[in-house]
């Protein structure tokens, strides 16, 4: 997970709002940020985002403090939501399923999370990391390592897990998503994980 900005107000917490109006506002902001990001190769500007979302620029600055703060919020919303699902959601993503199934479910969910907001994800890479990025990285690493160790105790689960996760932060993901090949991406990620968790035949 990417970014942080010294000018960001307080540490951005994930939005877990329950009202339909806040959910609609989140969707509008996410859509506006994605549209702004895809206009050019630079990170989205608050003025463009505000215009696309139909709100005043001052409103965005008051709520998020900066462009980085807005991207932090949008990224954190999905990342911490996924963390909650892994910790206490239904299987196979959450507890209760075999380790191999949980690994496949996690990588599928993480890939979808990135692909669904690909322009926001790419813009986020260009700014400092979220204030709680290390917490997320450690959680993902521990989760993958524990499951992988259970499935393949013969492997160095920590290193292999990191190697499985690393490609999701590379250039192949945005290339495939922008080309309309998200299904191909999801299938390939699954094949990659399966190639590791299924032991070779003797």
Q: Is the pLDDT of residue 26 over 70?
A: no
2 exposed, middle or buried (CB, 10 Å; 0-12, 13-18, 19+)?
Answer: buried
Torsion sign across C-alpha atoms 148, 129, 88, 93: negative
End-to-end Cα, the chain, rounded Å = 38
Distance CA 187, CA 107 (A): 11
pLDDT digits (tens, 9 = 90+) for 64-98: 777 778 788 888 889 999 999 999 999 999 999 99
What global pTM score does this model have? 0.76
Q: What is the mean pLDDT of residues 20-39?
A: 52
CATH of domain 67-197: 1.10.357.10
**Ranges of each domain in the chain:** 67-197
Per-residue confidence (pLDDT) for residue 59, from 0 to 100: 73
Model pLDDT, residue 97: 98
pLDDT the model gives residue 74: 82
The rounded distance, in Å, linking the Cα atoms of 164 and 104 is 11
Checking if the pLDDT of 173 tops 80, the result is yes
Q: In this structure, how many other beta carbons lie within 10 angstroms of the beta carbon of residue 198? A: 11
């Amino acid at each position: 997970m990417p970014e942080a900005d010294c000018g960001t107000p307080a540490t951005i917490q994930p939005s877990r709002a329950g009202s339909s109006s806040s959910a609609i506002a989140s969707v509008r902001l996410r859509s506006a940020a994605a549209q702004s990001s895809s206009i050019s190769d630079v990170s989205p500007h608050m003025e463009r985002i505000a215009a696309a979302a139909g709100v005043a620029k001052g409103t965005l600055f008051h709520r998020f403090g900066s462009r980085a703060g807005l991207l932090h919020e949008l990224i954190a919303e999905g990342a911490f939501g996924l963390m909650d699902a892994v910790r206490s959601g239904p299987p196979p993503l959450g507890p209760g399923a075999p380790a191999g199934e949980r690994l496949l479910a996690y990588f599928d969910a993480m890939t979808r999370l990135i692909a669904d907001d690909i322009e926001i994800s790419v813009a986020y890479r260009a700014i400092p990391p979220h204030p709680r990025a290390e917490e997320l990285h450690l959680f993902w690493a521990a989760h993958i390592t524990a499951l992988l160790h259970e499935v393949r105790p013969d492997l160095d689960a920590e290193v292999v897990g990191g190697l499985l996760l690393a490609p999701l932060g590379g250039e192949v993901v945005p290339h495939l998503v922008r080309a309309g090949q998200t299904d191909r991406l999801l299938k390939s990620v699954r094949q990659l994980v399966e190639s590791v968790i299924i032991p070779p035949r003797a």
